[in-house]
Structure 1
Amino acid sequence: MGAAARQSAPGDFAALSQGVTHYRWQGPENGSVVVLVHGLTTPSFVWQGVAEGLVQQGYRVLSYDLYGRGFSDRPGGAQDRAFFLRQLEDLLKDQGVADGFTLVGYSMGGAISAAFAAANPGRVRRLILLAPAGTEPLLGRMARLVRAVPVLGDWLMQVSFPRAHRKGTEAERDLPTSVPGIVDLQQAELRWRGFIPAVLSSLRHMLGQVQEDDHRAVAAAGLPVLAIWGAGDTVIPIRAKSALERWNPGAQHVVVAGAGHGVTYTHTGEVIAAMRAFLSES
């Protein structure tokens, strides 16, 4: 991922402490700021429909690619809590984002966003979580194996993940989407060196955490929280809602019928409606 590949990227680039980060601003410059954090395998293009909906409501929207994904650099090291929070903190400082913004996280981005809000409750005005990871370790049988056995796990990940990623994304090809060509875009990530190691490192670190303490800290701070779930999600099952309800009884919840883990782009209308109501109330 270098200068030639980045010529087609929308937005801009920031040289941060851990590497170059691709980011994009959308919406009126005087709008209230909303920061969007994507998940494990799908870069910031996952937000296309949501960002457009927020812009139509007058918000100033900042999205970016996590390291190892999209047009951002592929630095080494453990992709753990500190790694992702440092990238977000660096970007906010680089872009001069003032306190009082709304933070939105999807899947692993939900885990990152909850961790950031817990560590910085005075900086975030509202927290929106879409199918958030962090209520239990996101580790199926294969993920447990690649996490527990470093050398063999690395080899298994290189061999098995591309096929699993293509199969999982291909299953959504006929679903409605607010991101044109999203399946091809998702599968194209496999072309870039550093993508699979980044996913593996996130599985071994960030996605091995249970974030009860983070959510209880967010609740104690009185931060308004909305969680949006897909009723048919098999990646972050709907049972995760019960855990979040226990940890943060004041959080609001919306369950989108018929939606799977791709709720952000397959049911964008319902997501935008829920966000609109929450933002106007809070």
Structure 2
Amino acid sequence: MNFAYTWPDIFGVRLGIFQAALLTVTAAAVALLSVRLIISPNRREKEIFIPSPRTTVLPNLSQEQTTHLPYPPNALPGERDVATPYGSIRVYEWGPEDGERVLFVHGISTPIVALGDLGRELATKGYRVMLFDLFGRGYSDGPKDLAYDSRLYVTQILLVLASSKVSWKTFHLVGYSLGGGLCVAFTRYFPHLIDSLTLIGGCGLIRRHHVGWTSWLLYRSGLLPDLLVQRLVRRRIRPKDNKEKKPPRSVGAADIESVETKRCLPHGNSDANGGDGFDSAHISKFRPGVTVSSVVQWQVDHHEGFVTAFISTMRHSPIYAPQEDWKALAAILDTRRRDALNKEAGLGSGKIHIVLGEDDPVIVKDETMEDAVQALGLHGTEFTVFPGGHEMPFTTGSGVATAMVQFWSQY
């Protein structure tokens, strides 16, 4: 037998074996993928968003357990879940169908249940109100593959409006905290839909020097791995259990900062704390035992997408000044004032309503008033100030509702 092989022969044999092995592995991979698609055709769809407690928690609870949640699914009237390509959205809508429309947008950490009393106040006054949980909060799912920026949230508002059985051709738009910045962005692109714009402790004009070094490290620096950021932010924003909280200390002469100083300077930690009184504030007079702290804690512990949504929102949403949206809004308002007879264009008053808390450490009253006037002009703003901090719309819902109605009735 002749065992003399040339190099081309050996190379050809080896190449043939390699090609066969490669084809075998490829065929096996294709077959496995096909089987997975046949067995679970919706797998890809499920992986593009993080499910809310509506599907991960509620099915495992009894009716009594569900009722005693800090945020039960029927906390507000007219609840519905709206299926969208970005995941399900929890929406509440009630009030007379022929009443003027009011749409609410909530803040970065408190779901829409915190504005429920405000919605009830307006519904009793004859308004049709609609409230919803932003993506990654409350009972709304959280998209996994998208930045939580103005584009995502503006799209969500459009999806919510389209889900109603009644026409929302025009409406009053009300944004609280983060929701204020999002409402400015929405109004920039769809001013013809907006009868009026009210910002309650709204962000978008927070001065950059209020960003603490920890916030910069977590959200802006890019120095830390994502998994570490997730863990650190979860610990940072999760309120402590009530039993761990210390009783408030009385203010004495030894305190370095005066009350006036505290009113003017935020604590640089507003992503994790709304200031004195915020965490302990009751979100509803109908459920006095439920605080902001308990609702936020519930989300951190039970909404798998909450921390992800929070971090991405801090990185990408319109929170800090300067914001191009405000420049665009200024031009729109100026046009409305010069063409006051054109009611079809929306924002007929040519100004927006800004509601502030006297002692809010997150949205500082004096700074916000100064910066809003600079951005929109003296004739583009109207201010109302209430006692309290960032929790003001939860604890002063009746007064805030009355102030909004008064503003609307002027024009």
What TM-score, normalized to structure 2?
0.63
In structure 2, what is the equivalent of residue 178 of structure 1? 284
Identify the residue that residue 131 of structure 1 maps to in structure 2.
201
Shift of 1:94: 2.5
Q: Does the CA contact (< 8 Å) of 1:38 and 1:108 recur in 2?
A: yes
Rounded to whole Å, the distance in 2 between the matches of 1:13 and 1:255 is: 35
What amino acid sits opposite 2:235 in the alignment? V
- Please tell me whether residue 33 in structure 1 is matched to residue 143 in structure 2: no
Q: Which has the higher strand share?
A: 1
- Are 2:62 and 1:9 aligned? no
Q: CA RMSD in A?
A: 2.4
Give the partner amino acid of 2:398.
G
Correspondence list, 1:222-241, <5 A: 222=336, 223=347, 224-238=351-365, 239-241=367-369
Change in 2 beyond 3 A, CA 1:163/1:116: same
Point out the structure with max Rg over C-alpha: 2
Counterpart AA for 2:92: R
Structure 1 unaligned segments of length 5 or more: list them.
Answer: none
- Which digits, 9 at most, give the CA deviation of each residue in 1:211-242, with x for residues without a partner? 54322322322334100001101111111221
Deviations 1:62-112 (A, max 9, x none): 000001100000221211111111111112123264322111000000011
1 CA distance for matches of 2:86 and 2:296? 24
1:173 Cα deviation after fit: 6.2
Moved more, 264-273 or 117-126: 264-273
Cα drift, residue 265 of structure 1: 0.5
Partner residue in 2 for 1:253: 383
> Does the 8 Å contact 2:203/2:319 carry over to 1?
no
Residue 185 of structure 1: CA displacement?
A: 2.4
Structure 1 letter corresponding to 2:58 = A
Instruction: Show CA shifts across 1:233-275 (max 9, x none).
Output: 111111122111111122111111x310011111223212211
Do 1:99 and 1:122's aligned partners in 2 also have CA atoms closer than 8 Å? no
Give yes or no for contact 2:278–2:390 (8 Å, CA) kept in 1: no
Pair 1:275 & 2:404 matched: yes
Structure 2: distance between partners of 1:23 and 1:269? 22
Choose from 157, 165, 169 the match for 1:88: 157
Whole-angstrom distance in 1 between the partners of 2:282 and 2:112 = 18
Q: Which residue of 1 aligns with 2:371?
A: 243
Counterpart selection for 1:58 from 126, 130, 143: 126
Residue 266 (structure 1) aligned to one of 395, 398, 405: 395
- Matches of 1:211 and 1:5 in 2, distance apart? 41
Between the aligned partners of 1:237 and 1:88, the Cα distance in structure 2 is 27
Aligned length: 281
Structure 1 Cα separation of the partners of residues 406 and 300 of structure 2: 37
